[in-house]
Structure 1
């Protein structure tokens, strides 16, 4: 079971993630979007969306720092384990709570706003369940690893070495097997989230508007040839570009001959 969970499943997850992204890009480019519902409701969205996105950004940065950077590197910089865990508790808890509150507001908005709820698919519901489970498990492991009973082994001695060993295709199964159940559960939920990622609206996280930096300028011209000023703006439903234009009274035959 340890070999299956910590030696095989991570690579299966990567294959499904990359393969799913390629499939989604080739066959569902028009669906590669968040399917924005701001038109239906914007008050709760203005609160929940920034909380969730900024919170999850800090969470991702914290995971990268905790899993990729070895403990020996931080100790060489003079950062003790107590200092590291205190910073992880402070920033991790704030970011985790912000992310959880943000996604809670978004779920409440989606459930109570009729048009938004009607546009919710089964994939969206599954995604929200797994996402909330991952956030709650992450918060629990962050808090328990600091204020809970201190053990000889922490995630920097178990999960982090296992995570780094995956990149050299020599998974340290023993290290992950020695991790606490809370860290193992959080890891499994995280892998489940990445497995379903390409098939949900979360796929937009892999989109970057790089072409926007290189597109040509958009030129705006006035239809009547005059510079647009505050006085020159026509209000209401006035026809555009037809003012002071006389109807063409030239006979049809003459117009044809002039061509």
Structure 2
């Protein structure tokens, strides 16, 4: 085969990481459910945490749904609606840029706090330090892909290559050749992102899947003021 490494990287590696994500998550929730939590360091330092956490979480949620739309809405659909490629990318960069900047500033604030604040640093586990560093690198790669690699490669359209490859992953027949001419920063973003997915169940990130559904269905708690005697 002409590209054995590329074949393994874009055919087997994604399934290895996604398999780790799905099976690791099931095992974590089934057998280690009490550990599905994120230790709060708010008691050690609150002001910077609130700024970074709000920016990061709002930004990353917007970026996540932007990725979902960009990958799973085929170009043919937007073409059929009369949305030109230029209009689509202007909207994607505009909306994605806002959420991307929020996520970037937020993760940099959290990363700086985690390493710079001595109390927070010494209370952090190795996993805490690794995951905040990994998220910082991944978000930096994503922003660099959109605002550096994209403009430097005007002929590249991720919707006709990378997005199709991702959709093919879920149909279990990915064509690795679609990734051969993808700019390097995009490739690094994908590889590093898959690595984070693979490590997801074994880190504090897994708490993102532990939604507190019980608060929706529980009875209202009634607070009564103690009468003055």
What TM-score comes out, normalization by structure 1 length?
Answer: 0.81
1:135: which partner in 2? 139
Residues 91-106 of structure 1: matches in 2 within 5 Å?
A: 91-106=95-110
Match of 2:11 among 1, 7, 12: 7
1:46: which partner in 2? 50
**Higher mean displacement: 130-139 or 104-113:** 104-113
Q: CA deviation at 1:219?
A: 5.4
Bigger radius of gyration among the two = 1
Q: CA deviation at 1:200?
A: 1.2
1:208: which partner in 2? 211
Match of 1:90 among 90, 94, 100: 94
Match of 2:192 among 189, 192, 198: 189
Q: Deviations over 1:216-252 (max 9, x none)?
A: 344557xxxxx724x45xxxxxxxxxxxxxxxxxxxx
Give yes or no for contact 1:85–1:146 (8 Å, CA) kept in 2.
no
Matching of residue 177 in structure 1 with residue 175 in structure 2: no
In 1, Cα distance between equivalents of 2:186 and 2:223: 56
1:160: which partner in 2? 163
In 2, Cα distance between equivalents of 1:131 and 1:112: 17
In 1, Cα distance between equivalents of 2:52 and 2:137: 18
Structure ranking higher on relative contact order (CA contacts 8 Å, 6+ apart): 2
The number of residue pairs the alignment matches comes to: 225
In 1, Cα distance between equivalents of 2:12 and 2:173: 11
In 2, Cα distance between equivalents of 1:5 and 1:165: 15
Give yes or no for contact 2:111–2:133 (8 Å, CA) kept in 1.
no
Give yes or no for contact 1:89–1:146 (8 Å, CA) kept in 2.
no
Tell me, which stretches of 5 or more residues in structure 1 are unaligned? 222-226, 233-259
Q: Deviations over 1:116-160 (max 9, x none)?
A: 212211111221222111101110111135432412x31111101
SS of the residue aligned with 1:156?
helix
In 2, Cα distance between equivalents of 1:199 and 1:108: 23
SS of the residue aligned with 1:204?
helix
Give yes or no for contact 2:149–2:183 (8 Å, CA) kept in 1.
no
Q: Deviations over 1:182-224 (max 9, x none)?
A: 2111110110111111111111111111122222344557xxx
1:228: which partner in 2? 226
Tell me, which stretches of 5 or more residues in structure 2 are unaligned? none
SS of the residue aligned with 2:12?
helix
Hey, which of these two has a bigger chunk of helix by percent? 2
**Higher mean displacement: 105-114 or 156-165:** 105-114
What TM-score comes out, normalization by structure 2 length?
Answer: 0.91
In 1, Cα distance between equivalents of 2:165 and 2:114: 38
In 2, Cα distance between equivalents of 1:96 and 1:217: 37
Give yes or no for contact 2:60–2:99 (8 Å, CA) kept in 1.
yes
